[in-house]
Amino acid sequence: MGIETDILGDWHAAYAALVWQQELGGFDPVGDAPLNRYELAEPVREPAAPAAAPRRSAAPAPEPVAAPRVDAVAEARRAAAAATTLEELRAAISAYGHCELKRGAKSTVFCDGLPQARVMVIGEAPGRDEDIEGRPFVGRAGQLLDRMFAAIGLRRDSADAATGLYITNVMPWRPPSNREPTAEEMAMMGPFLARHAALIDPEVIVVMGNTPAQAVLGSRGITRLRGSWAQAWGKPVLPMLHPAYLLRNPAAKREAWADLLALQARLRG
């Protein structure tokens, strides 16, 4: 009993001493040799998390920049002036993308006939038949036009400059529902038409209808203008009634015949 009491007493004493040391802040066991903590390496500290950057208010979205407005007429002038041959002019017209009529047309109707002909005929715009075939004046109005000029010895299929005929239109693309071209559309195609006449260099120009009279002479009122010679691009110009008008108004064929005779006399004189 005495031995057990001594052992238990020593254990309780040791435990009491350990608790006392813990209360004083000593948590490490005590070794036989003294420990100088100043000689220990500095404890590794975890790097502090970087401070969050202050939130900035969202910058206002930039306003959309409007695309620069294209001067379609100036573009047409540049493209037309660069064409030195009829094929280059045809290509320039086909590549011109500022006229909305091009989007709805099947064909770019450029010309028909003999480029060396003395007479250049300018019509308004392709119709349905012309848009399908890709040539000007091939429908009913075109068939009447062929008979009219054949009556004074001129044909589009002639290989002779003296009897040949060269035909084109103000507009190379068919307007929807065969409506008249707008002033803006005519202005865009005007430089190409003027260049076309310069490359052909005919002796006489015939404008058939209001639209060609407006495009070439700057005047409308074809029933008033017809039969009276004018000047444009350094050439004599004869306004005439359009064959489509003659189909609707057969009585006006008498006036058209008088104009054809005036053209014949001019070519002979």
Q: Where are the domains of the chain?
A: 72-268
| Cα dihedral 104, 106, 112, 115 sign | positive
Q: Report which residue type is found at 20.
A: W
What is the tens place of the pLDDT at every residue in 234-264? 999 999 999 999 999 999 999 999 999 999 9
pTM for the full predicted model: 0.75
Task: Report d(CA 166, CA 239) in Å as an integer.
Answer: 16
DSSP labels, 183-227: HHHHHHHHHHHHHHHHHH--SEEEEESHHHHHHHHS---HHHHTT
What is the tens place of the pLDDT at every residue in 50-78? 666 556 666 666 666 665 678 999 999 99
Q: Does the structural domain 72-268 have CATH classification 3.40.470.10?
A: yes
Residue count (the chain): 269
